[in-house]
Amino acid sequence: MVQNSRSTPLFLSPPSEKSVFLHSRNKSAYNMERPNILVIYTGGTIGMMMDPEDKALKPFEFKNIRQQLPMLDLLECDITFQSLLPLIDSSDTNPQFWLRLVDMIEAEYQNYDGFVVLHGTDTMAYTSSALSFLLENLDKPVIITGSQLPLGVLRTDGRRNILNAIGFAADRKDGRPMLNEVCLFFQTALFRGNRIYKDDAASFNAFHSPNYPHLANVGTEISYNEHCLLPKSVPGTFIAHHKMDNNVGLIKLFPGINLASMEAMLHTEGLHAVVLETFGVGNAPTSPDFLKILQEAIDRDIILVNISQCKGGGGVEMQRYATGKHLADIGVTSGSDMTTEAALTKLMYLFGEGYPLNTIRKLLKMSLRGELTENY
Ligand code: ASP
């Protein structure tokens, strides 16, 4: 049972004259009195409104966001909005896009006390996972959010998501930002960015963290699970990484999988690694033909990472059944309780960094940013 160790009242408070005029940019420490928050809009449903003439959903000018959300002025922080152009539907997200986002955050890192990224929900879990690896030793929060309904419609969930994301980005404790990791806020929960996936295309509760507790919950009070947050990093040690290698693949097993198509995929030129989505706690067919194809890929130095296709919770324990042990015996690497999103982006990051294969195999089993449970 997870204990809530700290509760705070709502973030909202009336603007004081003093805070309204505080706009200082403190380069060496955190702005404690009135944090500066940079909100980066990248596209997606959240930034749309209905055109009164043809009733179609169209992106609105984010510089006019205060007309949509006048209550932004009640938050106790200074907020700057920037767009990462061109705006995209998140289905067009890719490693180049993640690296441009990293460039933007790195360029502004000293100027702001926290970052909010507004993003389409469809691939938001990939982006939050990728950012968690690319932004190392954060001592400030990066909170990603979006919405299921556009900000410009009456029943939008975007309003609460933006206000809470900014509130979390600006929250402070003991002279430091409360959060120092990549998080995703949606509906009533703050999640670790590399522990989630989108599991609902219709509900406002669109995201699920199968194997890690919420970092905070928003109800009438805001309560943190403080013991679940990443430990504080040493200020000044932040590193932004600028490379990703997308020579990675994904094979989801199913009964009757066509071995020729699997083999063809494993022979993709330049391929470094494949996430193998297996059954249950990491089980797979035991037929010699199936195992031979995997064995040959491993012999060609392709890393195979075992991730469970069970979405509700639990991870990979290859020693539990003979059907999993076969995989361990031929050298398949356990992905523990990582999500597929985290496993794929971790591989892109590790190969981007150019580590030797043995190091990558070791790092895959280690928690670099809280993305997995070690010794699962
Ligand atoms: N297709 C949109 C996107 O992911 C959906 C959304 O924003 O929720 O960009």
Catalytic residue among 8, 42, 45, 127: 45
List the chain pLDDT tens, one digit each, 376 residues: 333 444 443 343 333 322 222 223 334 467 767 999 999 999 999 988 777 888 877 777 777 788 889 999 999 999 999 999 999 999 999 999 999 999 999 999 999 999 999 999 999 999 999 999 999 999 999 999 999 999 888 899 999 999 999 999 999 998 899 999 999 999 999 999 999 999 999 999 999 999 999 999 999 999 999 999 999 999 899 999 999 999 999 999 999 999 999 999 999 999 999 999 999 999 999 999 999 999 999 999 999 999 999 989 999 998 898 888 899 999 999 999 999 999 999 999 999 999 999 999 999 999 999 999 998 8
Q: Which tokens sit at 7?
A: 């509760």
Catalytic residue flag (residue 123): no
Helix, strand, coil percentages (3-state) for the chain, rounded to 5, are 30, 20, 50
pLDDT value at residue 210: 95
Supply the pLDDT for residue 54: 86
Domains of the chain, first to last? 4-240 (3.40.50.1170), 248-364 (3.40.50.40)
Residue 219: which residues within 8 A CB-CB, separation 6 or more? 188
Question: Quick one: which of 160, 150, 155, 122 has its CA closest to 56?
Answer: 150
- What per-residue confidence (pLDDT) applies to 51? 78
CA-to-CA dists, residue 40 to 95, 219, 255, 285, 336, angstroms = 17, 26, 43, 45, 33
Contact, 20 vs 165, CB < 8 A?
no
Q: Please, are residues 72 and 66 in contact by the beta-carbon 8 Å criterion?
A: yes
Q: What is the pLDDT of residues 90-131, one digit of tens each?
A: 999 999 999 999 999 999 999 999 999 999 999 999 999 999
Q: How far is the CA of 261 from the centre of ligand 1 (A)?
A: 31
pLDDT of residue 227: 96
Give the distance (Å) from ligand 1 centre to CA of residue 60: 15
Q: What is the DSSP string of 182-247?
A: EEEEETTEEEETTS-EE--SSSS--EE-TTS--SEEESSSEEE-GGGSPPPPPTT--EE-------
Report the percent of the chain where pLDDT is more than 70: 92
Measure CA 167 to chain center: 18
Looking at residue 29, what is its pLDDT?
61
Give the per-residue pLDDT at 8: 41
Report the separation in Å between the CA atom of 91 and the middle of ligand 1, taken as the mean of its atom positions.
Answer: 7
- What letter would DSSP give residue 46? G
Give the position, in ligand 1's atom list, of the atom nearest the Cα of 43: 9
| Alpha carbons within 13 A on the beta-carbon side of 122 | 11
pLDDT score, position 32: 65
Q: Measured from the CA of 124, which atom of ligand 1 is nearest?
A: 4
- Which residues, including other chains, have CB under 8 Å from residue 309's CB and lie 6 or more apart? 252, 253, 277, 278, 279
Q: Which atom of ligand 1 is nearest to the CA of 44?
A: 9
Contacts of 325 (CB under 8 A, 6+ apart): 318, 319
Strands 239-240 and 248-252: unpaired
> Which amino acid is located at 348 in the chain?
M
Which residue owns the Cα nearest ligand 1 atom 4? 120
The protein residue whose alpha carbon is closest to atom 3 in ligand 1 is 120
Mutate to test the pocket of ligand 1, among 89, 119, 207 (most ligand atoms within 8 A of CB): 89
DSSP letters spanning 50-102: E-TTT--EEE--GGGHHHH-GGGGGSSSEEEEEE-SSP--GGG--HHHHHHHH
Q: From 46, 90, 128, 207, give the residue whose CB has the most ligand 1 atoms within 8 Å, as the site to mutate.
A: 90
The pairing of strands 36-41 and 114-118 is: parallel
Q: Among 41, 42, 45, 124, which residue has the most ligand 1 atoms within 8 Å of its CB, making it the best to mutate? A: 45
Q: Closest ligand 1 atom to the C-alpha of 90? A: 9
Give the nearest ligand 1 atom to 147 CA. Answer: 8
CA angle, corner 299, sides to 334 and 348, nearest 5?
50
Residue 273, token pair as written in the block = 């690694």
Distance 315 CA to ligand 1 centre (A): 28
- Residue 56 has what pLDDT? 78
Closest residue CA from atom 7 of ligand 1: 120
Pairing mode of beta strands 57-59, 135-136: unpaired
Give the residue, by CA position, lying nearest to ligand 1 atom 1.
89
Residue 90 Cα to ligand 1 middle (Å): 6
DSSP symbol at 23:
-
> Which run of H or E residues covers position 340?
helix 340-353
Question: Rounded to whole angstroms, how far apart are CA atoms 80 and 36?
Answer: 8
Return the closest-CA partner of residue 335 out of 316, 321, 348, 318. 316
Helix, coil or strand: residue 5:
coil
pLDDT for the residue numbered 13: 36
Q: How far is the CA of 6 from the CAs of 161, 163, 170, 186, in angstroms? A: 21, 20, 16, 20
* Dist. CA 291 → ligand 1 center (Å): 38
Ligand 1: residues with CB < 6 A are 43-45, 89-91, 120-122, 146, 148
Whole-number Å distance, alpha carbon 245 to ligand 1 midpoint, is 25
Instruction: Please state, rounded to an integer, the average pLDDT across all residues of the chain.
Output: 90
- The three-class DSSP label of residue 365 is helix
Give me 97's structure tokens.
Answer: 């896009």
